[in-house]
């Protein structure tokens, strides 16, 4: 699974996710990536793209939950990401990336590593795999 979350110079957010799914999956199986609110979500506050165990991400509506705890609990982006990865996945393993309308980037995962990269207008740029 691959994904991207962006906030542009006008403060507008967008997210996209794309995948081949699970190796050795049944034909006809649908995972979290195409489900808005689970694998992908964007609103005026933030944009989120998730990856990992589809079934866990679907049950937790993981991408929407990041936006929801920002909206209703007033958490900042990284706090919201950490809360959702820690509290919402039950026994599932997943990771997610997110941006906020104020130009922050964040990510979180509870499994071994996540291929990721991020960059901000003030020059920060990072590519990583492990914790």
Partner 1 sequence: MARWAITIHGGAGVDPKLPEQSQEEAKRVLARCLQIGVDALRAGSSALDVVEAVVRELETDPFFNSGRGSALTRRGTVEMEASIMDGRGRRCGAVSGVSTVKNPVSLARRVMENSPHSYLAFEGAEEFARDQGLETVDNSYFITEDNIGMLKLAKEANTILFDYRIPDTCSALAGADNHKNGMVMNGLPISIYAPE
1 catalytically annotated = yes
> Cα angle at 45 between 42 and 48, to 5 degrees?
35
> One of 1, 40, 51, 61 is an active-site residue; which one?
1
Instruction: CB nearer to partner 1: give 75 or 78.
Output: 78
Q: Is 61 in the site for partner 1 (CB under 8 A)?
A: no
> CA-to-CA distance for 37 and 15, rounded, in angstroms?
11
Number of residues that bind partner 1 (CB under 8 A): 86
Q: Which of 27, 71, 76, 83 binds partner 1 (CB under 8 A)?
A: 27
CB environment 21-40: b (16+ within 10 A), e (fewer):
eeeeeeeeeebbbebebbbb
User: Could you give the C-alpha distances from 109 to 28, 63, 72, 118, in angstroms and in order?
Assistant: 27, 13, 22, 15
Q: Is 86 in the site for partner 1 (CB under 8 A)?
A: no
Q: Is 117 in the site for partner 1 (CB under 8 A)?
A: yes
Q: Is 68 in the site for partner 1 (CB under 8 A)?
A: no
User: Could you give the C-alpha distances from 93 to 26, 27, 85, in angstroms and in order?
Assistant: 20, 23, 9
Q: Is 102 in the site for partner 1 (CB under 8 A)?
A: yes
Q: Is 47 in the site for partner 1 (CB under 8 A)?
A: yes
Q: Is 80 in the site for partner 1 (CB under 8 A)?
A: no
Active site residues: 1
């Amino acid at each position: 699974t691959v994904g991207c979350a962006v906030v542009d110079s006008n403060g507008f957010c967008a997210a996209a996710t794309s995948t081949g799914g699970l190796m050795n999956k049944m034909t006809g199986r649908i995972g979290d990536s195409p489900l808005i609110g689970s694998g992908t979500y964007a609103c005026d506050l933030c944009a989120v793209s998730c990856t990992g165990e589809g079934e866990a991400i679907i049950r937790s509506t993981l991408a929407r939950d990041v936006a929801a705890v920002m909206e209703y609990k007033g958490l900042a982006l990284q706090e919201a990401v950490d809360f959702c990865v820690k509290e919402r996945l039950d026994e599932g393993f997943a990771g997610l990336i997110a941006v906020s309308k104020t130009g922050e980037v964040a990510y979180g995962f509870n499994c071994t590593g996540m291929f990721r990269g991020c960059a901000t207008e003030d020059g920060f740029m990072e590519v990583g795999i492990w914790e």
